[in-house]
Structure 1
Amino acid sequence: MSAGAPPITAPLADGLALRRRTPTLALLTAAYFFSYMDRQILAILQEDIRAELLLSDTQLGLLAGFAFAIFYATLGLPVARLADRGNRVNIIAIALAIWSAMTAVCGLAQNFVQLLLARIGVGIGEAGSSPPSHSIIADLYPADQRAGAMGIYSLGVVLGSAFGTMIGGFVAHLYGWRVAMFAVGLPGIVLAVVIKLFVVEPRRGLSDVQIVADQQEAHATPGFAAGFRSLFANRAAVHLVMGVTLTSMIGYGQTAFGPSFLIRSIGLSKVEIASIVAPIGAVCGTLSAVGGGWLANRAAKRWGLYAQSWLVLAMKIVGLPLSFLFYLATDAWAAVPLYWLSLLLTQSYLGPTFALIQGLAPLRLRALWAAVTLLVINLIGLGLGPTLIGVISDQLKPSMGDAESLRWAMLSFAAVTPWALFHYWRAGVLLKRASA
């Protein structure tokens, strides 16, 4: 806009933001996609990296888990404060450019310490993506459409993980793991420019009816302590955070070592994983994420928001036996269909969970609530998940061997699922009680 042009009035800005909400959601999902692609590529490459840099499973777990998560999670809090007060679009664009560049730098590492530092840089950049994205989506979509929108946003996890595996597998097979890092990292810088130029910063609470509350809160954003207290004082929110944290810990650990498990314990090649397992897995995960969000919206309209928590519970209960059978299978083409079927049921939890948490959050604390949730998820889930699987596998290796030690490490994590299911059940109870 030129210096002499009049400023865009609030109604015009609101209208523009709402007209662009579908492409905005697509671009935020694309940023989330790049986030998970840049994380997941390490999983398909780690057997090559392990061989070249002579790393243990514990070191691989640290690269995928705690070393990445400690900066990713803790820096999310100050970023969320900025997002609750300032321009969220700028934050997302800058963060995307940083983590994309650092992913490419991973391809230059010559030893464990250099790769560790580059992964820390990826974590620092990715800290600026999800909290402001959650806040923008919550402002653009009303409560009865929010789970569906968050379900679409969560496709970034499913598709990013799948494409990281596919691109990483193919490129590494042809040109080596270092070129694969460049191939997934550099395009994210272009996307950062597109987001900066196209996405409109929406007004806080744009799609909420609570206009009076919005006006009251517009002039003062509570500090960190008040934000933490407000979340942990809400018992339903606490159970949702615990449920999604435990579920994520299981998922992060199993995703980080999934390709290694398929290679070592099942006997597939890197190219078979990239060309067969990952593409069909992406379709199954997409159906789960989008279908789960759609079902959650319908459940909320018919029974109330509490039904979204119980929907996650039901799908996880049905999917758990399939996960156990997958990790116990020894034949590749018996194991892989079980994996695909489990994805249809287990990848639907993020959309409804984040939508419920954003619906419970005060309007001016949405980014902070998202950041606190992601802090817990990532310190415990991302930090401990891959790291503990690596440690367990190394501890079992002397007695079980390379293949079986990893199998039983993965199984031990799947066994934690009932604990997560309890929290989703309890959250539904409390949400139902609050709506009565």
Structure 2
Amino acid sequence: MSADAAAAPGGLAGTFRASPRVALFFLFLLNTLLVLDKIIFTILLEPIKREFQLDDFRLGLLAGAVYAFCLGIASVPFGILADRGNRRNLAAGCLAFWSAMTGLCGMAQSYSLLLVARLGVGIGEAGGGPTALSMIADLFAHKKRATAMAIFSLGTPMAALISLTTMTKVEALLGWRAVLLIASVPGFVIAIAMWLFMAEPKRSADAQRASAPPLRTTLAYVRSQRSLLLLLAGAMTAYIVLAGVSSWNFSFLIRVHHVKLSEVGPLLGASIAGAGMVGLYASGWLADFLAERDERWRTRVMAATTLASVAFGIAAFTVRDWHLAVACTAGLAACASLWLAPGYALSQSLVPTRMRGTVGAILFMLANVVGYGLGPPLVGLLSDAFQSAGVAVPLRDALIFMVTGNVLSALLFVLAGRSLRDDLTRAGATQDIPNAEQNTSGREE
């Protein structure tokens, strides 16, 4: 008997496994581990640089470009698979694979081997994000989708809390390799738990009757949705800023403020986690609440929080006291990621059900190939260029230059709102309200 068959409707076990809240909890854990790998590498950049004697550009490639390129390119075929097959199994399998690759990163004895293992992490993680977004969209109706995406996105500050409070101490005691080996273990446990205790979310009745369209049809539909194109462009720009700045935060504090990783890590982790958890949930809830009056408030919330990140960023990189720098960095990290919940929700609401996995994959591809692929090495390149030009604090100026890019992100989000109502109606999102039969099938209104 298969795992899904064992969870037949009507039984207590079946009801538990089909619960949208149970599924959302597992997807939150999956997202926590996905983000944890990103943050862990940023806090390990300096010890890795010392061991392998790397310049900032090669360090940036390791932190972003190679990993992000593989993640982004592999996202599209995984997204297509998510539109056609069992998303729960796909997500759990990918989680187990990238956890194994994280462990291999901790065993690498050369820069080249570390780069290859990091490539494997990116390929595994490519199946996590798109499948999760697609499942959440089928579990929660449009009017609650941003709030659900906010809970899913809480994995980001939770990962920051774990990595910056616990993993920094592990690095100080046991070294950077031990951090990666320890971080690889929970993924196997959660992958098994997902298979045992989480059911594959049911798609809408129309989606179950329809087959997933070919990629060219989905791309043509995306091009026809002006608000979705602008949303993707704004997300891509915001990811360049977020990835570039977050990857170099610790290096900045260590180099400019001369603090130890074990000293600043717990404080920064707690600050980012606290601000991020409150802010992410509030942004999702606020977007859903205000959108009851006007759907354009979703993009307005995204633009406002993105603009706020510019102010926090400039302050974080110019204040002289490192405690103030940490506080401002927490504000920067929170505001720069508050667009995620309403943005993810809109990306799923602006397309029909059978296109959601593919569109989620396109979002992850653009975000990672361009965002994480360009962000970290671009900061490193700017820092090296400023240093050659004789700038006193080159990394600081590179980070200030980078964070101002969120002005463009905010503008693109505002422009996306202009055609949002028409595009949502065209995609059928305004009629995306589950009926009684759908509710008994495991969907939350």
- The TM-score with structure 1 as length reference comes to 0.92
What residue in structure 1 maps to residue 356 of structure 2? 366
What residue in structure 2 maps to residue 208 of structure 1? none
Q: 2:271 and 2:5 mapped to 1: Cα distance? A: 51
After superposition, the Cα gap between the structure-2 partners of 1:17 and 1:234, relative to the gap in structure 1 and judged at 3 Å, is: farther
Of residues 324, 328, 335, the one that matches 2:325 is 335
**Pairs within 5 Å for 1:201-216:** 201-205=200-204, 211=205, 213-214=206-207
Report if the CA contact (8 A) 1:18-1:140 is conserved. no
User: 1:322 Cα shift?
Assistant: 1.9
Of residues 409, 412, 422, the one that matches 2:401 is 412
Give the letter for the 1:129 counterpart: G
Report if the CA contact (8 A) 2:252-2:396 is conserved. yes
User: 1:185 Cα shift?
Assistant: 1.2
What residue in structure 1 maps to residue 122 of structure 2? 123
Give the letter for the 2:351 counterpart: A
After superposition, the Cα gap between the structure-2 partners of 1:311 and 1:45, relative to the gap in structure 1 and judged at 3 Å, is: same
Give the letter for the 2:133 counterpart: H
Report if the CA contact (8 A) 1:326-1:335 is conserved. yes
User: 1:122 Cα shift?
Assistant: 0.5
User: Aligned with 1:107: secondary structure?
Assistant: helix
What residue in structure 2 maps to residue 293 of structure 1? 284
User: Aligned with 2:200: secondary structure?
Assistant: coil
CA distances 1:277-330 after superposition (whole Å, capped 9, x unpaired): 1112111111111111111111112x2322111111122223321211111223
Of residues 218, 224, 229, the one that matches 1:238 is 229
User: 1:433 Cα shift?
Assistant: 5.4
What residue in structure 2 maps to residue 227 of structure 1? 218
Q: 1:19 and 1:147 mapped to 2: Cα distance? A: 21
The answer to whether 1:324 aligns with 2:314 is: yes
Q: 1:59 and 1:137 mapped to 2: Cα distance? A: 37
What residue in structure 2 maps to residue 313 of structure 1? 303
User: 1:398 Cα shift?
Assistant: 3.2
The answer to whether 1:424 aligns with 2:413 is: yes
What residue in structure 2 maps to residue 57 of structure 1? 56
Q: 2:73 and 2:333 mapped to 1: Cα distance? A: 30
Give the letter for the 1:339 counterpart: T
After superposition, the Cα gap between the structure-2 partners of 1:389 and 1:342, relative to the gap in structure 1 and judged at 3 Å, is: closer
The answer to whether 1:260 aligns with 2:259 is: no
User: Aligned with 2:201: secondary structure?
Assistant: coil
Give the letter for the 1:295 counterpart: L
What residue in structure 1 maps to residue 170 of structure 2? 171
What residue in structure 2 maps to residue 16 of structure 1? 15
After superposition, the Cα gap between the structure-2 partners of 1:434 and 1:117, relative to the gap in structure 1 and judged at 3 Å, is: closer
Q: Which moved more, 1:141-150 or 1:335-344?
A: 335-344
User: Aligned with 1:203: secondary structure?
Assistant: coil
Q: 1:18 and 1:226 mapped to 2: Cα distance? A: 34
User: 1:8 Cα shift?
Assistant: 6.8
The answer to whether 1:279 aligns with 2:282 is: no
What residue in structure 1 maps to residue 443 of structure 2? none
Report if the CA contact (8 A) 1:166-1:273 is conserved. no
What residue in structure 2 maps to residue 34 of structure 1? 33
CA distances 1:329-357 after superposition (whole Å, capped 9, x unpaired): 23212222222333443331100001011
Report if the CA contact (8 A) 2:244-2:377 is conserved. yes
Q: 1:6 and 1:228 mapped to 2: Cα distance? A: 35
Report if the CA contact (8 A) 1:36-1:157 is conserved. yes
Give the letter for the 1:52 counterpart: E
User: 1:66 Cα shift?
Assistant: 1.1
Between the two proteins, what is the percent identity of the paired residues? Answer: 31
May I ask how many residue pairs the two structures share in their alignment?
425
The answer to whether 1:136 aligns with 2:172 is: no
Give the letter for the 1:235 counterpart: R
User: 1:144 Cα shift?
Assistant: 0.5
Give the letter for the 2:47 counterpart: D
What residue in structure 2 maps to residue 304 of structure 1? 294
The answer to whether 1:67 aligns with 2:60 is: no
After superposition, the Cα gap between the structure-2 partners of 1:17 and 1:371, relative to the gap in structure 1 and judged at 3 Å, is: farther
Give the letter for the 1:405 counterpart: P
User: 1:80 Cα shift?
Assistant: 1.1
User: Aligned with 1:202: secondary structure?
Assistant: coil
Give the letter for the 2:64 counterpart: G
After superposition, the Cα gap between the structure-2 partners of 1:222 and 1:317, relative to the gap in structure 1 and judged at 3 Å, is: same
What residue in structure 1 maps to residue 442 of structure 2? none
Report if the CA contact (8 A) 2:317-2:325 is conserved. yes
User: 1:47 Cα shift?
Assistant: 0.6
**Structure 2 unaligned blocks of 5 or more:** 426-445
CA distances 1:14-71 after superposition (whole Å, capped 9, x unpaired): x837852112111111111101111211111111111111011111110111100111
After superposition, the Cα gap between the structure-2 partners of 1:431 and 1:94, relative to the gap in structure 1 and judged at 3 Å, is: same
After superposition, the Cα gap between the structure-2 partners of 1:79 and 1:17, relative to the gap in structure 1 and judged at 3 Å, is: farther
What residue in structure 1 maps to residue 344 of structure 2? 354
User: What's the C-alpha RMSD, in Å, of the aligned pairs?
Assistant: 2.3
- The TM-score with structure 2 as length reference comes to 0.90
Report if the CA contact (8 A) 2:52-2:110 is conserved. yes
Give the letter for the 1:428 counterpart: G
Give the letter for the 2:157 counterpart: V
Q: 1:234 and 1:43 mapped to 2: Cα distance? A: 36
Q: 1:261 and 1:74 mapped to 2: Cα distance? A: 30
What residue in structure 1 maps to residue 436 of structure 2? none
Report if the CA contact (8 A) 2:7-2:17 is conserved. no
